Structure 1
């Protein structure tokens, strides 16, 4: 009887500990290839054709606009004057290629909870989208996604790294 009692007690303890285990976060899509814009690439979807940039591609977009990235202050999602200038250059390019669709990715620094940063990243991406739409870009051409703090571009835990990670990035996804 004592052996049965200790077996039941051990099983109960194991079940209780298993219930406290951390849940795995949902799997995010893979990060974009870092060499997508390299000269000489000939990979489908890179916007390169034997080293030449294809008009209307993501590589053409990055080459033609002042930047594909706008940055934000801590806990902010408002579009400032610098971001407006960048987004205005994106509007000009998007008007040249009315068939092109884009995704705006919202990102945050590592501070704050996962849930908070996903929500803030969403607000940042939608602020950029709303600006583009207000400037005449059809909303059906623009999708948004938030990665929160899951895809930093700077890995440090300092103000300079945090500032680089608080951003919205525009990516050409196709026609």
Structure 2
């Protein structure tokens, strides 16, 4: 009995789970690979982002974008073509995006529940790419836009197995800051968010100065 327990202990020490429920002997994997499931180090990255203000200000900008402009456009059934209403919404998005050249965005593509998972993921991606292309035509750098995530039919707004226009959509979201942009190298993320408020205050001060000077010639 003691020998069996000892053998079992050696087996447990020598093997562990790979994160997918599969037991992998440690002697056939590189050191640390079983521990790292693909997210190793993210806690440090997140903590650094919180400390220097990056993460909190990205969240503030994301909330502000969603509040100030429509972040969603809808599509006809089995279509990735933008109609005039969608283009009007995207022009509003482009106007907002131009105010913040340091900010990056992602466009997520969605579908309704009709059709296979594979087809709908492809359709959702084509919808996201159509939005990115149109924003690019409005002067937004493609380096700041990503259409790499397609959620297909996995996140419906309205749960139904039938056709539903509200589920056939894209969502534009703030995802971070442009790497290496000179305006964020000093970490003054708050100045980026409130820059338009600061600019409006400076413009007002200039008008007040003009009034105090007795008017213009």
TM over 0.5: yes
Structure 1 residue 173: Cα displacement: 0.4
Asked if 1:166 is matched to 2:173, the reply is: no
Paired residue for 2:101?
98
Mapped to 2, the partners of 1:45 and 1:127 lie a distance apart of 30
Asked if 1:120 is matched to 2:110, the reply is: no
Q: TM-score, normalised by structure 1?
A: 0.66
Mapped to 2, the partners of 1:164 and 1:124 lie a distance apart of 14
Secondary structure of the structure 1 residue equivalent to 2:86: helix
1:107 to 107, 110, 119: 110
Secondary structure of the structure 1 residue equivalent to 2:73: strand
1:107-163 per-position Cα deviation (integer Å, ceiling 9, x unaligned): 00011011110110011000000000011000010011111111111112344xx11
Secondary structure of the structure 2 residue equivalent to 1:173: strand
Change (3 A) 1:142 1:111: same
Asked if 1:156 is matched to 2:160, the reply is: yes
1:78 to 47, 67, 81: 81
Secondary structure of the structure 2 residue equivalent to 1:102: strand
More helix by share: 2
For the 8 Å contact 1:46–1:59, the answer to whether it is kept is no
Mapped to 2, the partners of 1:98 and 1:113 lie a distance apart of 38
For the 8 Å contact 2:58–2:175, the answer to whether it is kept is no
Q: TM-score, normalised by structure 2?
A: 0.54
Secondary structure of the structure 1 residue equivalent to 2:160: coil
Question: Can you give the 5+ residue segments of structure 1 that lack an aligned partner in the other structure?
Answer: 1-43, 49-53
Q: For 1:1-175, what aligned pairs fall within 5 Å after superposition?
A: 44-45=55-56, 54=60, 57-65=61-69, 67-144=70-147, 145-159=149-163, 162-175=164-177
Mapped to 2, the partners of 1:165 and 1:130 lie a distance apart of 21
Structure 1 residue 64: Cα displacement: 1.4
- Rg: which structure is higher? 2
Mapped to 1, the partners of 2:76 and 2:56 lie a distance apart of 33
